[in-house]
Structure 1
Amino acid sequence: MHILVIDNYDSFTYNLVHYLEDLDCLVTVKRNDQLTIEEVADYDKIVYHQGLVFQMKQVF
């Protein structure tokens, strides 16, 4: 299975990547501002998380 992980410029992204690789998935990481909608069709699954913005909302 080929999975796209969208990187929102935080360290949590690579925690997800390592977990998915341990499950024998083929993982590609793309930065959220360096990805086109056409590229998304090349993957079986997409992993997206809100990143640091979401975490900061929880604190403040």
Structure 2
Amino acid sequence: MEQSQYLGAFYLFGIALNLVALVYAIQTGQTAFAVAFVLVVLYLSFRYRTREQFVGGPDDE
């Protein structure tokens, strides 16, 4: 598995965990935690979408 695919799986796992935590925070009425989890999901989503730029493509050898 190449590095970009590994990072993609890692980011998706992090997004999924944070979404579960977000749902739990919303259900228990903890808005501060919910906002924090939303920010983390947004950050991980951004990193997931732009991971090729950070790792480097096949031309960067």
Q: TM-score, normalised by structure 2?
A: 0.33
Higher helix share: 2
Higher strand share: 1
Q: Which has the larger radius of gyration?
A: 2
Q: TM-score, normalised by structure 1?
A: 0.33
